[in-house]
Structure 1
Amino acid sequence: MGAAQVVRIESESEAINMEGWSKERTLLRKLVKEEGTKVADVARELGDSRSLVSLYINGKYAENEELREKVRNYLRRVGMWEDESTRENAAPFDPIVSSDELPFVETNDVKRMRYVLKKAATKLKFGIIAGDPGLGKTETLKKYIAANPGTAIYIRCKSTHTVKSLLQELADALGLPDTGSANQLTRRIVKQLKRTPYFLIFDEADLLKTADKYEALRDIYDEAGNIGVALVGNLALAEMFLDFAEMRPELKRLADRAPFHQRLQGPTREEVEQLIERVNLTPPARKLMIQIALNPRKGGLRNCVEILDVLLDMTKGQPITEEMVLDIGQINLNANA
């Protein structure tokens, strides 16, 4: 059903008669002209050229069912389209009021991580997982440990770790005394692991940086002979052990023991939409939250969740606007700069 109205384009040099326009064309024009969505962004989402989209929203490009379907699907994704049958049969929208209610989405990255963790643990090898900050690596590790109780030891690496302090932390996690030299700690840890094997998970392992710390972990792995080890961190970890290890023999020794590895790709738009499906966001705010989650330079998925945590606490289920997302997002980025 069309919208019978006449509007003027920006130059006011001609009038556009929208009588008989499809719902798809009318809503897409509104999204661009009234809500500020860029034609280039629409074109990228539709897989068409900017000139085609511009002609289409100005009524100068003939419609066909294939184009209308692409536009409908895009409008659904940005919250601008609601089917009549869906509206009649849908349950009332029940917005969440706390970030604790956000679902844990089984993203492709979660599956990639789970694959490496399972293989490294069962095949008794090193596994390496690397990805941008904010992709949910630590949360996925927590889920894995909860699903495999009593089988794994989790260590969060720090930039201040020395070889000895890293070994002390591992000894403490194993319930062992953390006194003595690095060699004594290593012997104590190996002896314990031979008695009771654990899967060792080192989160933020890129912060260890120097080869002597990775060599200490390789020594424990080699001497115990019955454990798997996972190194999880930012992309610097992949550069060290997957890209440039050939040039550094001390790193290649560990890389040769790591047949299971994954570089994380970040969430897809569909995965982010699943995450925020029950958040009461206005269409522009929803679009902005998706942009934040998909862009590591804007903090990625982690920043998206942190912003929602603040805004859900503020709004208690009331609508969240684009301005609110911008305000809290800027504060959050400055705080983490």
Structure 2
Amino acid sequence: IFQTRSRGCLKNFLGITFVCLVLLTCVVEKHTLLWTFYLKYKAFVDFPLSLILPLVVWLFKRQKDFNYQEKTEKDKEERKNIAKYKNNKQVKYFAGITLLIFFPILFSLTGCQRLTDVEEKNYILSMYVDYPADEENAYQFWIARANLSEMEGQSDEIPCKITKIEARNLQQLEEKYLEIVPGKTEWNHIYTIFLGSGIAANKTACTHLLKEWDNEWQKSPNVLLALCPENPKELYKIKNIPAGAAGQEINLLAEQNKEKYSGQICETPIDYLRAKQQQEDKITLYRVTIENGNLKIMTDEL
């Protein structure tokens, strides 16, 4: 694009631009709004131009070389007609190439709506289950899901929302849950299943629920299983952790005590079902309690 006599200016310009970009990157990474604007500029302006400008330069260069070859008036007239035809053809070609490049880029930057938009998915982080004695074949579920839309920019804490549902099995639970909270539900990120006193006392109901959990391929097989005699309302309102984040906290405590209780604990639904199949008399699980407003973890026999 630049003439030969302007190479010195071009070098100076490129050097200054490079230094400015280096300084700019040191600034924008610390400011979310600047960084977001910079990424949008690169995606929607800089990248498309990097594809389109070389093509424009090539077309102009071809036109310039063609004009230098004109010698006689007759040739000029003939070449004008040819050039006119070629220019029309090149314009159409250029427009077609631009559309083929530009629109796929814009389409790829829009995402795939619910298939990839994280904030529109319902990520289940923990679940409290109980089985009241006065209710026949009905479980009570307290579902804690991640509320990603309310997360602060640089915060590591994931706020949760709690939804209480009564259902006879997991399939009915999912159906009722989707009626209350529409959208795609992700169970693969769940940390902990808390077993209340009622379901802990009813081993048949507990085994039936965990078998159904194990048979569903989309459910997380490595979810932590823990007894919890505490009221779910108190469990999900511990002051020293984010609201609803008891599942993450207990999972972390279990990981820290893993070596201490190695080989003694049935940590997952699969471990529990395997112990039941082997007809073990005593099944040891983690037990969660609240002491002085803090979550504590120990072992207990079911």
TM-score, length-scaled by structure 2: 0.28
Higher strand share: 2
Q: Larger relative contact order (C-alpha < 8 A, sep ≥ 6)?
A: 1
TM-score, length-scaled by structure 1: 0.26
